[in-house]
């Protein structure tokens, strides 16, 4: 059992969180696959002037527990609820894997969610469609991401062999973020990728969301890891769901256009989305 692995509610080590500011509007941030709380720093601290900002390391990543379990949607959501159950209503912001889990969380605990902000949401429909997409688009590293054995091997090599030199290999992301890309296990990384990104159909969660819930999608036009076409289709499903696309931006809008993303997040709290 999952909870047996980590401990009971009053004894288990909860997910790692960091909180900034003490405003009335709570905003919670979930990073993507391999990301940690440092993905959002230091830019996010400016939001703390008017809001209470909480950053969370997902189960299996960063400083959070890394049990030897199957990292499916329900397990991730249960771990999140353990730290969020007494907080709310909140604006939940997620990037990539974190965006998928944000939707899943909102579908299961709608009374805790005020708004959703989904950055670079990946949606393929199925594992087979994900494989087909990566093959057709010839995405760099796509074959590695859709072959479980190679994904595990890459994860192990990255952590044990290339970890210290990774910041010199990956130069298009801040060094602190790259350093944290090894703060997981092959189990947590590969399992989360397969169970949440490839096998879980987030469209079911979207249909379960309350009619009045506002959703803002932020997506790069040049995102090859998460096709914007799928997000465009989802965003038109309801009148209070909006897509803000960024020209020339890849899978990391918050890194490439930090001020723009912060402005959108801040504006969403006052119902003044442009």
Residue spans of beta strands (DSSP E) within the chain: 17-20, 25-30, 51-56, 90-95, 113-119, 214-220, 241-246
pTM for this one? 0.88
Alpha carbon distance, N-terminus to C-terminus of the chain = 46
Answer for the pair 235, 99: CB distance below 8 angstroms, yes or no: no
Number of Cα atoms under 13 Å in the Cβ half of residue 15: 28
β-bridge partners, 246: 220
Tokens representing residue 19 in the block: 């909180």
Give per-10-residue mean pLDDT for the chain (274 aa). 31 85 89 95 81 95 96 97 91 98 98 97 89 71 60 60 57 81 89 92 96 97 94 95 97 96 88 47
**130 neighbors 143 (Cβ within 8 angstroms):** no
**pLDDT at 213 (0 to 100):** 97
Distance CA 186, CA 166 (A): 17
- Asked if residue 6 lies in contact with residue 12, where contact means CB atoms within 8 angstroms, the answer is yes
Q: Residue 88: what pLDDT?
A: 75
Picking from 77, 36, 55, the residue whose alpha carbon sits closest to that of residue 184 is 36
Reading phi first (left if > 0) and then psi (alpha if -120 to 50, else beta), residue 208 is in alpha
pLDDT given for residue 271 in this prediction: 63
Task: Decide: 268 and 240 in contact? Cβ < 8 Å.
Answer: no
In a 3-state reduction of DSSP, which class is residue 61?
strand
Alpha-carbon distance 62 to 68, whole Å?
15
Contact 97, 197 (CB under 8 A): yes
Q: Are 98 and 31 in contact (CB under 8 A)?
A: yes
**Which tokens sit at 156?**
């192990």
Domains annotated on the chain, with CATH: 2-125+200-268 (3.40.50.1820)
The DSSP call for residue 140 is T
Please answer whether residues 173 and 51 qualify as being in contact, where contact means their C-beta atoms are separated by less than 8 angstroms.
no
Residue 4: what pLDDT?
29
In tens, the pLDDT along 153-164 reads 666 556 555 556
Give the per-residue pLDDT at 9. 35
Phi/psi at 9 (5° precision): -55, -40
């Amino acid at each position: 059992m999952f909870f047996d692995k980590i401990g009971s509610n009053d004894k288990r080590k909860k997910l790692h969180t960091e909180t900034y500011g003490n405003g009335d509007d709570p905003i919670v941030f979930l990073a993507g696959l391999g990301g940690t709380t440092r993905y959002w720093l230091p830019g996010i601290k400016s939001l703390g002037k008017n809001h209470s900002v909480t950053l969370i390391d997902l189960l299996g990543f960063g400083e959070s527990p890394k049990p030897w379990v199957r990292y499916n949607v329900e397990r991730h959501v249960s771990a999140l609820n353990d730290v969020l159950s007494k907080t709310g209503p909140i604006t939940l912001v997620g990037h990539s894997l974190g965006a998928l889990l944000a939707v899943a969380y909102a579908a299961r605990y709608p009374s805790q969610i005020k708004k959703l902000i989904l950055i670079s949401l990946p949606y393929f429909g199925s594992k087979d469609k994900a494989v087909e997409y990566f093959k057709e688009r010839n995405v760099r590293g796509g074959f590695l991401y859709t072959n479980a054995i190679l994904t595990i091997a890459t994860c192990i090599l990255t952590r044990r062999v290339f970890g210290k030199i990774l910041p010199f290999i990956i130069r298009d992301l801040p060094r602190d973020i790259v350093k944290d890309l090894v703060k997981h296990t092959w189990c947590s990384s590969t399992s989360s990728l397969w169970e949440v990104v490839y096998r879980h159909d987030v469209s079911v969660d979207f249909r379960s969301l309350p009619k009045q819930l506002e959703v803002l999608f932020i997506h790069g036009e040049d995102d090859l890891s998460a096709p914007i076409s799928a997000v465009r289709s989802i965003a038109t499903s309801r009148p209070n769901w909006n897509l803000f696309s960024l020209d020339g931006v890849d899978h990391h809008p918050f890194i490439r256009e930090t001020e723009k993303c912060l402005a959108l997040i801040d504006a969403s709290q006052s119902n003044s989305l442009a």
